[in-house]
Amino acid sequence: MGQGTSSVACAGSGQQQAQGEYQEVDQNKIQGKDFTLQVPDECLSCIFEKLSSVDRKSCSLVCKRWHWVEGQGRQRLSLFAQENLLTALSKLLSRFEHVTKLALKCDKKLTSVDDKALFIIGRDCRQLKKLKLKGCKQLTDDGMEIFARVCGPLKKISCGSCGFGARGLNSVLQHCLNLEDLTVKRLKGLYEGPSELIRPGCGKIRRLCLKELYNAQLFGPLLAGSKHLNTLMLSKNSGNWDNLLDIITEHLPELVELHMEKLQLSDGGLQSVARCKNLEVLYVLKAPECTNAGLSAVATGCRRLRKLHVDGWKAGRVGDEGLLSVARACKDLQELVLIGLNATVISFSPLATSCHGLERLALCNSDTFGDPELSCIAEKCQSLKKLCIKSCPISDQGMEVLATGFPNLIKVKIKKCRDVTSASVDWLQTNRKSLIVTLDDALPSTTTDLPRAVQPGTHRAPRGSTPQNRSPLAKARLAIVAGGSFVACTLLRWSSTSGSGSSSPAGA
């Protein structure tokens, strides 16, 4: 009895204690006590970092403490750089004093901030490491020079459609001693005034991107003087690049990644690129003047290639001969993208055999990559994980090999291949359930030339027609062939009656 009495007493005391705590919490709610005050500022800042931009802005308006913590924890800031931003810029930056990445963007039709705003940013953002300027046409060379002298440990700068030119860039390269990444795009100031060469400055640039520049040849001294350049991206720049590449490649021993898109480039330029023995990533896009000889030279000289993208723009100058050189020399190839190249089994067979580590393969706009080529690589590409085929003459019969070939294949994307239907994709998903298959712009399946397990359910449209541009009458007839449903028959009767002059389906 004594033990029972004590246990009951303990239970009663526990209930009283819980009830007392509940009443205390309830009393705190009544008194309006803020339990978030017990959360340290560091934890609250981590919570804000997990929120979206909209939710984070809303939370900053809850109270003064949240407003301060959110501002102190923000490292990325994007501002609409219209001219009226100048009036509030100092107070804004005093709140976000720990910003490391800042973007200033202005519409081309509006007046942007001027040099004074750029000076305030350089003075107040002492931890700024990345700066992006877009559409700031009111910025001048003088403003960039002042900014470069007062800014903090800036490592990356990107400028597009801005008003300054060569002198402003040279000031940044000279005074920003930690600068490693530079992107220049459509820089308006380069076209005005006397041509000034872009010098290497402190020579610490590791990544350089030049895009849509009329006189990108001015960057020659910068290219040749950047001994530590690791990544170079050249896109849609005018001028003859064969001669410039011949000069700069001798001075780029650490170049690992090179992108060249829509340049005046020929085999001479590719032969210069072949000097870069440490090159691992190469993009040669929309270069119709390049031939098998240029690709062979690159393959022979750059034997460490891991990624190779070639877009011949259907000029017919790159094919089996160039790819055979790649197969013989580039044993470490992991990613291969071929666009507009007419290659056949002659090159795909040794390519699949030699490149044992090939994991990603994309073939686009090729008139010669068909079912035999797909069967060839399916048997020999043991390491392939991702396959993309676009606008190639493969068919449903060729899709059969995907069910048994490519043992490590994870994802397949088929796009704009006219002879591949949705029925073959359904059959492939049934027979290889672990494979992710994406089919875009597919035509309905035919009753012939399908795998045996496929059950045709729709009628094949003639070449040139797609499901999106069929007339209502054609859709109705297609539905009748597919299933012969009562609704489809009714639609067909309505369409026929309307064509013969009836006023409405109800009157038919």
Residue 184 identity (one-letter amino acid): V
Q: For the residues 231-237, what does the mean pLDDT come to? A: 97
C-alpha 487/C-alpha 252 separation (Å) is 70
% of the chain surpassing 70 pLDDT: 80
Condensed to tens digits (0 to 9), the pLDDT of residues 158-197 reads 999 999 999 999 999 999 999 999 999 999 888 776 678 9
C-alpha 494/C-alpha 480 separation (Å) is 14
Short-list 193, 191, 140, CA closest to 169: 140
C-alpha 374/C-alpha 221 separation (Å) is 46
- Is the model's pLDDT at 89 over the cut of 80? yes
Position 490 confidence tier, pLDDT thresholds 50, 70, 90: very low
pLDDT at 17: 52
Position 30 confidence tier, pLDDT thresholds 50, 70, 90: very low
pLDDT at 157: 97
Condensed to tens digits (0 to 9), the pLDDT of residues 246-259 reads 999 999 999 999 99
C-alpha 414/C-alpha 135 separation (Å) is 39
Selected residue with higher pLDDT from 90 and 469: 90
Q: For the residues 80-85, what does the mean pLDDT come to? A: 94
pLDDT at 62: 84
Q: For the residues 488-500, what does the mean pLDDT come to? A: 43
- Residue listed under structure tokens 């309830």: 26
Position 483 confidence tier, pLDDT thresholds 50, 70, 90: very low
Q: For the residues 452-476, what does the mean pLDDT come to? A: 41
Pairing of strands 181-185, 156-160: parallel
In angstroms, the first-to-last Cα distance of the chain is 93
pLDDT at 56: 80
Selected residue with higher pLDDT from 384 and 59: 384
pLDDT at 127: 93
DSSP of 27-74, one letter per residue? HHHHHT--GGGGS-HHHHHHHHHTS-HHHHHHHTTS-HHHHHHHHHH-
Q: For the residues 407-422, what does the mean pLDDT come to? A: 95
pLDDT at 317: 94
- Is the model's pLDDT at 488 over the cut of 70? no
Q: For the residues 455-460, what does the mean pLDDT come to? A: 35
Burial of 481 (0-12, 13-18, 19+ CB in 10 A): middle
Q: What is the mean pLDDT of the chain?
A: 83
pLDDT at 164: 94
pLDDT at 447: 37
- Is the model's pLDDT at 24 over the cut of 90? no
Position 7 confidence tier, pLDDT thresholds 50, 70, 90: very low
Selected residue with higher pLDDT from 185 and 28: 185
- Is the model's pLDDT at 484 over the cut of 80? no
Position 441 confidence tier, pLDDT thresholds 50, 70, 90: low
Condensed to tens digits (0 to 9), the pLDDT of residues 136-153 reads 999 999 999 999 999 989
Out of 16-20, 364-368, 383-387, 452-456, which region has the weakest mean confidence (pLDDT)?
452-456
Q: For the residues 47-52, what does the mean pLDDT come to? A: 84
Selected residue with higher pLDDT from 130 and 32: 130
- Is the model's pLDDT at 456 over the cut of 60? no
pLDDT at 373: 95
Looking at the DSSP assignment, which residues form a beta bridge with residue 183? 158, 209
pLDDT at 193: 64
Q: For the residues 338-343, what does the mean pLDDT come to? A: 94
Q: For the residues 492-503, what does the mean pLDDT come to? A: 43
- Is the model's pLDDT at 35 over the cut of 50? yes
- Is the model's pLDDT at 507 over the cut of 70? no
CA distances from 313 to 101, 291, 296, 341, 478 (A): 38, 11, 18, 8, 37
% of the chain surpassing 90 pLDDT: 65
Selected residue with higher pLDDT from 414 and 455: 414
Q: For the residues 298-310, what does the mean pLDDT come to? A: 97
Condensed to tens digits (0 to 9), the pLDDT of residues 262-284 reads 999 999 999 999 999 999 999 99
- Is the model's pLDDT at 437 over the cut of 50? yes
pLDDT at 16: 52
Out of 13-17, 191-195, 214-218, which region has the weakest mean confidence (pLDDT)?
13-17
C-alpha 316/C-alpha 504 separation (Å) is 56
pLDDT at 325: 97
